[in-house]
Homo-oligomer: A and B are copies of this chain.
Amino acid sequence: MTTVLDRLHELQVQVPDMRFLTGPDIPERNRTDWSFLPPSSPVAVARPTSTDEVSKLLAACHADGVPVTPQGGLTGLCGGSRPIDGGVALSLERMSGVERIDPDGMTMTVLAGTPLETVQKAADEAGLFFSLDLGARGSCAIGGNLSTNAGGNRVIRYGMARDLVLGVEVVLADGTVLPMLNTMLKNNAGYDLKQLFLGSEGTLGVITRAVLRLHPRPGCVSAALCVVDGYDKVLDLLRTARRRLGPMLSAFEVMWDDYWYQATQRVSGVRAPVEIGGGSHVVLVEMQGLGAEVDTPRFEAWLEEVFASATVTDGAVAQSLGDIAAFWATRDAAAEFANPAVIGPHISFDVGLPVKRMDDFARESKAALERELGCQSVHYGHVGDGNLHIVAWVPGAAPQPLPEVSRIVYDIVRAYEGTVSAEHGIGTLKKPYLGHTRGPDEMALMRRIKNCLDPENNLNPGKVFD
């Protein structure tokens, strides 16, 4: 009987540049992602250097029924790139690099394994701007960002990863290469097939290259922290920010008082630039303007107005890049919550809700968690985008009761007609709850599409849905 390893050995002869790591050579990092799921046991990690090699690998695995799990920077939070025991992990990390920048078309062509930060820097060096940004920027790969339709901090202005890609080169489950490297903003010639591969978490094809959309580089940045009392004031602030800052509004991040306390009182090195006092929320507003002479006064005039109208009870305007960094530090402090000196082991959520109902949701889920499980929680999120993050923990519990906490949160999400994943995706962790957001006919159509593109179910099996 030919084993998977025998088959990979034959393949190695055909494609000598592709590296296979097997047995003890398999790096720990390729066994799971940032979801905290336990390491798995793939039979091999394949590290191709070209699309042709990816194609040959997928064709061989397809012929032999070997499951393949594509991997980018392995920073996903839901287990989407965690390999199958006995399957092959397909790492794109050796396919890295910026191939071309077109300043007139405002596009960049990159290999899928390129780290996001490399993409951002290359755009900046060309005098342009790639707007996708998230905490894992130094580690995550652009191919993974596209496969998961990553969101991040500036969705309110620039959209999600899906909105920032004009073309992709994709390898299908059977090894077929689709060179759909469209560079045009407008192209209505036939079905827009690239959409199938954006946000489907590597279950329909492997993205090997992409044409990204670039924007003009911002000429100036302003930021403020605003304390408000009552969620209706948060909505007032959002409404006036949209009207007065328009498309320059680049972030509208809301921190609930429970979050603010943890971030500024418990995380070492983070100070509170404003006093929350009797307020209920702190809002970080950022504007990317065109020029400081014109747009900084515009931002300050808007702030004076919201102070004068008593929408905001306290606030601070950044006077320097250092201030802007200090303001963002209060929002980024969530990354330190896992530290036992702060919150320690906890469960994170990334839900989406109608903007108007986010505070009702936060109160209701907070009360239900406390009442049913003695579970604590704090809330923060990209409110302008309808995206709420919850950090929940039962003090002293080990392990944390993931299924029980999830059930409570996601049942309320369903009642609010929200989504169980605004930006992180489904992977394996959220599979049990996908039906809370998508109906049975939608689930059936997803399965039909999967079956249409990957009838043998070799490509990232067990992810998104069963």
- Taking Cβ atoms with an 8 Å cutoff, the residues of A that contact B are 102-106, 148-149, 151, 155-157, 159-160, 162-163, 172, 176-180, 182-193, 195-196, 198-200, 204, 215-219, 235, 238-239, 242-248, 290-291, 294, 297-298, 352-356, 382, 384-387, 417-426, 430, 434, 437-439, 441-443, 445-446, 448-449, 451-453, 464-465
With A103-B239, A434-B189 known as contacts, the answer to whether A159 contacts B149 (CB < 8 A) is no
| Given A192-B198, A245-B290, A294-B298, residue A187 in contact with residue B419 (CB < 8 A) | yes
When distances are taken between beta carbons in the complex, the residues of chain B under 8 Å from A298 are: 290-291, 294
Let me know if A190 and B148 touch, CB within 8 A: no
Q: Is there contact, CB below 8 Å, between A187 and B465?
A: no
Residues of chain B lying within 8 A (CB to CB) of residue A423: 186, 188
Contact B182 A419 (CB under 8 A): yes
Which residues of the partner chain B approach A453 to less than 8 Å between Cβ atoms? 445, 448
Are B188 and A151 interface neighbours, CB within 8 A? yes
Q: Specify how many copies of this chain sit in the oligomer.
A: 2
Q: Is the CB of A191 within 8 A of B441?
A: no
Report yes or no: B242 in contact with A446, Cβ–Cβ below 8 A: no
A186 x B102 contact (CB < 8 A) = no
The chain B residue sitting closest to A249, CB to CB, is B216
In the complex, what's the smallest C-beta–C-beta distance from A209 to chain B, in angstroms? Answer: 15
In the complex where A243-B216, A356-B102 touch, is A442 in contact with B178 (Cβ < 8 A)?
Answer: yes
- Taking a contact as CB atoms closer than 8 A, the residue among B172, B184, B419 that contacts A353 in the complex is B184
Chain B residues lying within 8 Å of A244, measured Cβ to Cβ, are: 290-291
B contact residues around A245 at 8 Å (CB): 290
Chain B residue with Cβ nearest A433: B189
User: Within the complex, what minimum Cβ distance (angstroms) separates A326 from chain B?
Assistant: 26
Contact B446–A449 (Cβ < 8 Å): no
The answer to whether B422 and A187 touch across the interface, beta carbons within 8 angstroms, is: yes
Q: Is there contact, CB below 8 Å, between B192 and A216?
A: no
Measured between alpha carbons, how far is A354 from B190 in the docked complex, in Å? Answer: 18
Interchain CB contact under 8 A, A445 and B386:
no
With A185-B386, A441-B177 in contact, is A190–B434 under 8 Å at CB?
yes
> Which residues of B are found within 8 Å of A238, using beta-carbon distances?
104
Given A242-B216, A246-B218, A294-B294, also A184-B352 (CB < 8 A): yes
What are 14 A-B pairs with beta-carbon distances under 8 A? A157-B247, A183-B386, A183-B417, A184-B353, A186-B352, A186-B422, A188-B199, A188-B426, A191-B199, A191-B446, A216-B246, A246-B247, A290-B298, A294-B298
Selected from B186, B356, B385, the residue in CB contact (under 8 A) with A186 is: B385
Is B355 in contact with A178, judged by CB distance below 8 angstroms? no
- Bound complex: CA A103 to CA B235 (Å): 10
Determine how close the nearest CB of chain B comes to the CB of A155; give it in whole angstroms: 6
Cross-chain contact A186 with B155 (CB below 8 angstroms): yes
Report B-chain residues with C-beta under 8 Å of the C-beta of A103: 239
Which residues of B sit under 8 angstroms from A387, Cβ to Cβ?
184-186
In the complex, the answer to whether A184 meets B448 with C-beta atoms within 8 Å is no
A204→B423 CA distance, assembly (Å)? 27
Closest beta carbon of chain B to A427's beta carbon, Å: 10
Q: Which residues of B contact A106 (CB under 8 A)?
A: 242
Query: 7 tightest CB-CB pairs across the interface, nearest first?
Result: A195-B195, A247-B247, A452-B452, A186-B422, A189-B437, A104-B356, A184-B386
Q: Which of B149, B189, B386, B451 contacts A192 (CB under 8 A)?
A: B149
CB pair A438–B189 under 8 Å, yes or no, is yes
Contact (Cβ within 8 A) B422 A180: no
Q: Which residues of B contact A425 (CB under 8 A)?
A: 188
Question: What is the CA–CA distance of A430 and B162 in the complex, to the nearest angstrom?
Answer: 27
Inter-chain contact B189/A105, CB cutoff 8 Å: no
A162: B residues at CB distance < 8 A: 192
